[in-house]
């Protein structure tokens, strides 16, 4: 919208009041505070850009990059909430930039965009998430039992198939890792694999064909005991995976059964080690 030019002072009146009204209905000038800097140091830089109805935060960041800050570093790929690349902290909350609509953020205050805090900072909005890719190979891979039929096929209860389906929706955005206080505040990356990889371990442990036993590693090497079920990870997951209730708590129960159940230990002694 352009300012009415009929009276002296009209432009000032527009910028003060009409801009807020325009922004509240999805168009007009909006203010952004983007984190600029490298290697962990930096500061917010203020920008103003024109937005339209339906724009997401990534649209605005790209527009600022194109028109005002060509050297702004920002990572994205799919712009459809599926690659997990555009994770950031928007107004202090871990979110995907490409799935956060400007219309859903308060129109009367600047939109702040910062890099994730649980991983080393590279530049501007980009962090180095490679630690996550080193964690994954440490988890025992899928180990299927022998086929149930001579033709090499298995028989599986549909309920067991459905139980692990939600874990497979993970897009590895690492927003859950970013919000988890064990990684973010206590920096226990060497001792705790984080919610994303507890989801991955749950998908394997609960898979109806898998026979590997990851319970000792979960306790000794992957730090499942550090999770105190705050559920912050579940709240930020863009795929709405019920990380805590459906993955972490059942894994904790299995670890407890394995290590602290004297009756279970006796049964295992008699019949040999076997996965529940
Ligand atoms: S529930 Fe556990 S894994 Fe999830 S954020 Fe809280 S401490 Fe971290
Ligand atoms: S579990 Fe959810 S929040 Fe965590 S990495 Fe996967 S999609 Fe992202
Ligand atoms: S760009 Fe792929 S999830 Fe945002």
Task: Find how far residue 229's CA is from the centre of its chain.
Answer: 17
Q: Which residue in 211, 218, 210 sits closest to 253, CA to CA?
A: 218
Over residues 92-117, the pLDDT tens digits come to 999 999 999 999 999 999 999 999 99
Q: Select from 162, 171, 189, 186 the least CA-distant residue to 236.
A: 171
pLDDT at 257: 87
Separation in Å, CA 95 to CA 101, 131, 273: 11, 20, 42
Beta carbons of 188 and 101 less than 8 angstroms apart: no
Digits of tens for pLDDT over the chain (276 positions)? 333 333 444 444 445 556 555 555 567 999 999 999 999 999 999 999 999 999 999 999 999 999 999 999 999 999 999 999 999 999 999 999 999 999 999 999 999 999 999 999 999 999 999 999 999 999 999 999 999 999 999 999 999 999 999 999 999 999 999 999 999 999 999 999 999 999 999 999 999 999 999 999 999 999 999 999 999 999 999 999 999 999 999 999 999 987 766 666 666 566 654 455
- 92 C-beta neighbours (distance < 10 Å), count: 8
What is the tens place of the pLDDT at every residue in 201-226? Answer: 999 999 999 999 999 999 999 999 99
CA distance 223 to 248: 12
CA of 154 to the centre of ligand 1 (A): 35
Model-level pTM greater than 0.75?
Answer: yes
Closest alpha carbon to 119 in 89, 157, 78 = 89
Q: Which ligand has the shortest distance to the CA of 135?
A: 2
**Atom of ligand 2 at shortest range from CA of 172:** 5
Residues with CB under 6 A from ligand 2: 170-176, 195-196, 199, 236-239, 241, 243
* The two domains 10-127 and 130-271 share their CATH topology (first three levels equal): no
Q: Which CATH number fits domain 10-127: 3.30.450.40, 1.10.1660.10, 3.40.1410.10, 3.10.20.30?
A: 3.10.20.30
Domain boundaries, the chain: 10-127, 130-271
Q: Which residues line ligand 3 (CB under 6 A)?
A: 76-79, 81-86, 96, 98
Domain 130-271 carries which CATH code?
A: 1.10.1060.10
């Amino acid at each position: 919208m352009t300012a009415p030019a009929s009276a002296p002072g009209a432009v000032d009146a527009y910028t003060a009041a009409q801009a807020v009204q325009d922004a509240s209905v999805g168009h007009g000038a909006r203010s952004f505070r983007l984190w600029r800097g490298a290697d962990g140091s930096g500061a917010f830089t203020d920008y103003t850009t024109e937005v339209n109805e339906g724009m997401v935060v990534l649209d605005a960041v790209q527009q600022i990059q194109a028109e005002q800050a060509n050297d702004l570093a920002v990572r994205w790929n799919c712009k459809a909430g599926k690659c997990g690349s555009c994770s950031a902290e928007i107004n202090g909350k871990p979110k995907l930039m490409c799935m956060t609509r400007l219309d859903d953020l308060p129109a009367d205050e600047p939109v702040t965009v910062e890099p994730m805090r649980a991983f080393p900072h590279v530049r501007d909005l980009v962090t180095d998430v490679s630690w996550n890719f080193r964690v994954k190979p440490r988890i025992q891979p899928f180990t299927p039992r022998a086929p149930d039929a001579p033709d090499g096929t298995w028989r599986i209860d549909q309920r067991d198939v459905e139980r692990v389906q939600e874990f497979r929706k993970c897009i590895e955005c690492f927003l859950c890792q970013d919000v988890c206080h064990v990684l973010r505040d206590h920096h226990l990356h060497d001792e705790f694999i984080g919610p994303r990889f507890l989801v991955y371990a749950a998908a394997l442990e609960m898979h109806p064909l898998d026979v590997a036993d990851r319970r000792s590693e979960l306790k000794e090497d992957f730090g499942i005991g550090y999770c105190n079920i705050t559920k912050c990870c579940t709240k930020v997951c863009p795929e709405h995976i019920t990380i805590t209730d459906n993955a972490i708590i059942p894994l904790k129960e299995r670890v407890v059964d394995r290590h602290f159940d004297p009756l279970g230990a006796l049964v295992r002694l008699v019949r040999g080690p076997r996965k529940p």
